[in-house]
Amino acid sequence: MSKAFTFEVLATNGRARRGAITMPRGEIRTPAFMPVGTGGTVKTMYMDQVRGVGSDIILGNTYHLMLRPGAERVARLGGLHEFARWPHPILTDSGGFQVMSLSKLRKLTENGVTFRSHIDGAAYEMSPERSIEIQGLLDSDIQMQLDECTALPAMEKEIERAMELSLRWAERCKTAFGDQQGKAMFGIVQGGDIPALRLRSAQALKAMDLKGYAIGGLAVGEPQAVMLEMLDITCPELPADRPRYLMGVGTPDDILKSVARGIDMFDCVMPTRAGRHGLAYTRRGKVNLRNARHADDPRPLDEESDCPAARDYSRAYLHHLVRSQEALGAMLLTWNNLSYYQKLMQDIRAAIEAGAFEARAAEISEGWVRGDI
Ligand SMILES: CNc1nc2c(CCNC[C@]34C[C@H]5C[C@H](C[C@H](C5)C3)C4)c3nc(N)[nH]c(=O)c3cc2[nH]1
């Protein structure tokens, strides 16, 4: 396996790209969906299952792990891969997004974010340098810069201030990260829903010659059309030979439309969180197993699936488990949902290779519209 971090575009179809990232811990086939691991676990799943459904990379959770059990402790125990028994690539977010959404009493300054833990109220400072240090202690393969994500709608001046601060923090993170062979630090494009600010952010980050670029500040409450318009503006400004990661996205429909605009990597809590709330994703659309209409339905979620959770259990049984709040309900639906998402990504990659992405995307969407019979 290569010692360095490389990205290769293997095929294109319109603006959609089929690529491959190679890293010492393994290859990431793109477009890729990255299951979200919160405190070093993809909730209710064994790591063998996460791998078994086709995941090449998972997300770790900087903010949670730094609070509990602590980044230094994870490092002493051999790093996150050893701790969670996941030997393949791990991407960690910088923690800023969560500090702003989870912790109490936080203050944003030029030097970083000071906040109190939502767990025990202890005070912390997260500077760009400390964020990179924590991600290094976790032995993360792809590390994200510390940034300030503006919730939308917001005043243009506010979006501009946060975008410019994030650019200064990107420089500091690049310096702190240094030249770690086989690992990568990605910049994050900000700029809200303002085209001119998106362009400025993308161009400034491109000049930093980073190994990959995330598009942040989206999927924060704006309509899908606004998100897609920002991709139309941002992606062409980013270097074609570097991976593009759309943070926090999304539904299967978001993913199809974003791949069509040049996005290579996705993360979203949707498939795992929905699974814990009784919601199943299938190729015929979503199925809410809490609904009483499933109580006598002997059919599986998808008789053609190669995932046991989708193929071997009746909807009646899944309905029963969900209604009885049995742990197995969350386990089977999470397994089904991740399997569906990874099958979708595999389908997308094959369609781009075959030069048939647009037609395949239309077929996939029609399947949902027909709805689950
Ligand atoms: C949903 N929409 C959305 N998400 C976003 C995220 C987090 C991505 N997921 C990582 C994360 C976030 C939470 C939940 C899990 C585990 C861990 C903590 C890491 C995924 C973002 N993260 C950063 N650094 N910057 C953004 O602009 C941003 C915008 C987003 N828009």
Predicted ipTM?
Answer: 0.99
pTM: 0.98
Burial of 109 (C-beta count, 10 Å sphere; 0-12/13-18/19+): exposed
pLDDT surpasses 80 at 1: no
- The model's confidence at residue 105, banded by pLDDT at 50, 70 and 90, is confident
For 264, half-sphere exposure in the C-beta direction (CA atoms, 13 angstrom radius) is: 27
- Mean pLDDT on 213-218: 98
Higher pLDDT, 191 or 38: 191
Ligand 1 atom 5 nearest Cα: 248
The catalytic site residues sit at 93, 267
Ligand 1 atom 26 nearest Cα: 216
Residue 373, pLDDT score:
61
- What residue ranges line ligand 1, CB within 6 angstroms? 36, 38, 59, 61, 93-94, 96-98, 144, 147, 149, 188, 216-220, 247-248, 267, 269
- Mean pLDDT on 324-336: 98
Which ligand 1 atom is at minimum distance from the Cα of 63?
Answer: 18
Please, what is the average pLDDT of the chain?
96
- The model's confidence at residue 9, banded by pLDDT at 50, 70 and 90, is very high
